Amino acid sequence: MRTAVVTGASSGLGREFVKQLSEEGKLDEIWVIARRREKLEELASSVKTPLRIFGASLDDEGLYGLLSVLMEREKPDIRLLINNAGRGTMTTLDEETTEDAVSMIGLNCQAPVKMMKLCLPYMKEGAGIINVASVAGLLPLPDLAVYGATKAFLLSLSQAVNEEMKERNIHVMALCPYWIKDTEFIGKAGAEGRISEKGILNAEETVKKALEDLRHGETVSLPGKMAKLTALGTRFAPLGLVWKIRKWMKV
């Protein structure tokens, strides 16, 4: 069966990926993973493509065992893996708890690696992987130090594995959005009221651009003007200047 696997599918970008993939009508089934099972069930009732629901946390080793058994038994034709689950906290390292920092590294870095290792054996020529990184991965960011570092890891991983998979014609792309206004991330990260909403895209626009970029073979997707400006700034402006502009613009 032509299958997609989406983590963090209960809200935000993950939910929007499921909706747009279902609208395309090219898949037989979408496997959706998130802690809030009830949200996944609501999503299943609103889309045409059948969803296989996994109401579990990505820090639960039992989830990977279950997925491994199911994949071995069913041999799904995985056309797309979307590593969307992630979290961040807008705070300084000395104020962030060790538990939160380590947990963030596990979810943002270890979980995507585990999912890629699980899915790659069941991916054929023309399949794809979208790793949801962030413009925060393009440069060191004070107040988002650990989060930005995890996204830099994911960006580097995506580019390297994309090169490794060229012989198999499996495309790996890092999605590096700016802030997204209609997701839960801004509130959960503690960034509400601390950033400007100028130039912020919504989830629908971000996902549409990501899927277009994947089809066009992009290695890094930068949806919206603010993401592109950030990438440009990191290439040509001194880091200290970028930090000052960011503070002045509240970005």
Residues acting as catalytic residues: 147, 151
Tell me, what's the pLDDT at 183? 58
- Tens-digit pLDDT profile for residues 42-99: 999 999 999 999 999 999 999 999 999 999 999 999 999 999 999 998 999 999 999 9
Q: What is the DSSP letter of 165?
A: T
The pTM is what?
A: 0.89
The CATH number that applies at residue 223 is 3.40.50.720
The percent of residues in the chain predicted with pLDDT above 90, rounded, is 77
Residue 133: pLDDT band (50, 70, 90) is very high
Do residues 141 and 91 lie in contact, with contact meaning Cβ atoms separated by under 8 Å?
no
Tell me, what's the pLDDT at 191? 44
Nearest to 25 by CA among 47, 56, 55: 47
Cα angle value 44/221/91 (rounded, 5°): 80
Domain count within the chain: 1
Element (DSSP H or E) covering residue 27: none
* Average pLDDT of the segment spanning 98-115: 98
Q: How far is CA 117 from the centre of its chain?
A: 16
How many residues can be counted in the chain? 251
Among 33-42, 122-131, 167-176, 190-199, the least confident range: 190-199
Residue 34 to residue 101: CA distance in whole angstroms:
20
Tell me, what's the pLDDT at 247? 57
Residue 231 three-state SS: helix
Cα angle value 235/242/232 (rounded, 5°): 30
The whole domain housing 57 covers: 2-249
